[in-house]
Amino acid sequence: MKTHWLIGGLAGVFALGALAFVQGGDTEGAEAAAETGQPIGFLHNQHAGAEPGQNNMNCQYCHFSAERSVDAGIPSVASCWGCHQVVAGQTEQAQTEIARLRGYWERGEPIPWRRIYKISDHAHFPHMRHVNAGLECQQCHGEVQTMGVLVERDPAWGGNNMGWCIECHRQPDPVTGEAQASVDCSVCHY
Ligand code: HEC
Ligand code: HEC
Ligand code: HEC
Ligand code: HEC
Ligand code: HEC
């Protein structure tokens, strides 16, 4: 099992070899992690940002089920560990946070991330329908690739307000002129 991840991890690092793996690290927000209740100071910008020194990873590398499932999915500890058993961090801050990740891996525990985006159970939101319709993650979740520790919803997110969903569904389809998506109660409430 460990050997398997060692190979996976090295392969992952080599596959991403063209990306800048570095240096200086953007530690902004990591301090706040403990205070805000995220168990590890995971920085989206450091992994998904395209600035120098950031790793420019595709969102769906980690949220791999967004285009085929209702849930976008949160990556497992194993998928983090594929890189982090070789990437131990350059700054003291990074090393401390990555050591926490190691702890979850060694104990075989899932990381108890705090959930941020959630709608009530009486409504249903299928990611795959939206992603396959060509919507960008950022339209609903904001510029995640520029953010440090995620603690709050993007101000433009309206998922707990039905009007936000309906307003976009009512937009005319450029070809048919009809609503681009259904506003029947039963597509969202069942
Ligand atoms: C290296 C893996 C990785 C990459 C790449 C990544 N994410 Fe994440 N994402 C996570 C993890 C881990 C969490 C849970 C911790 C947190 O909320 O920050 C998360 C949480 C989220 C959440 C909040 C989920 C919730 O409701 O709790 C959103 C939204 C999100 N990511 C969007 C994105 C977008 C958009 C991108 C691309 C710009 C992206 N992610 C790239 C690992 C990743
Ligand atoms: C493709 C490889 C890769 C994957 C997968 C990956 N990381 Fe990273 N991560 C990195 C690199 C590279 C750094 C920068 C380390 C440095 O140079 O200090 C980093 C930095 C970090 C840091 C240090 C933050 C700081 O304060 O500087 C944490 C914590 C972290 N990653 C957690 C995670 C978690 C949790 C996951 C899984 C959801 C994950 N990583 C997945 C490559 C990866
Ligand atoms: C049309 C708006 C919209 C788009 C586009 C969208 N999301 Fe979401 N996202 C939501 C809503 C609404 C929720 C809450 C769903 C729920 O509670 O069932 C959510 C929840 C999440 C979560 C929380 C955990 C989960 O598995 O649902 C993650 C992670 C996430 N989105 C990532 C992404 C990523 C990555 C993309 C792009 C590939 C994306 N989202 C595109 C609206 C959107
Ligand atoms: C930014 C625009 C946008 C927002 C915001 C949005 N949607 Fe959608 N939604 C779409 C589009 C476009 C489609 C049509 C996809 C297709 O044709 O397959 C769709 C399709 C759907 C479907 C499938 C409908 C069917 O006919 O089976 C459901 C269910 C759904 N959305 C729920 C939601 C919910 C719940 C929310 C709010 C939490 C929401 N959507 C917010 C654009 C949006
Ligand atoms: C495109 C998806 C969608 C459609 C279509 C839709 N709803 Fe909703 N509805 C939602 C979402 C999302 C919420 C808010 C969930 C939350 O609070 O997190 C909601 C909330 C509600 C609530 C709770 C009170 C409120 O306003 O927050 C009621 C009642 C409701 N809807 C009834 C209906 C009825 C009746 C219809 C048909 C006329 C309908 N909905 C059509 C997505 C939808």
Average pLDDT over residues 104-116: 95
Ligand 1 centre to CA of 74 (Å) is 7
Residue 74 lies in a domain: yes
Specify the number of domains making up the chain.
Answer: 2
- Whose Cα sits closest to atom 5 in ligand 2? 80
Same-domain pairing of 68 and 135: no
Residue 34 confidence (pLDDT): 55
Mean pLDDT calculated for residue range 65-92: 95
Residue nearest to atom 17 of ligand 5 (CA): 160
75 lines ligand 1 (CB under 6 A): yes
Least confident of 15-19, 100-104, 167-171: 15-19
Residues 86 and 134 in one domain: no
Closest CA to 44 of 35, 53, 56: 56
Is 114 within the bounds of a domain?
no
Residues of the chain with pLDDT > 90, as a percent, come to 78
d(CA 108, CA 5): 14
Percent of the chain with pLDDT over 70: 81
The reply to whether 150 falls in a domain is no
Please tell me if the CB atom of residue 63 comes closer than 6 angstroms to any atom of ligand 3: yes
Look up the domain containing 90 and give its range: 2-107
Residue 180: pLDDT above 70? yes
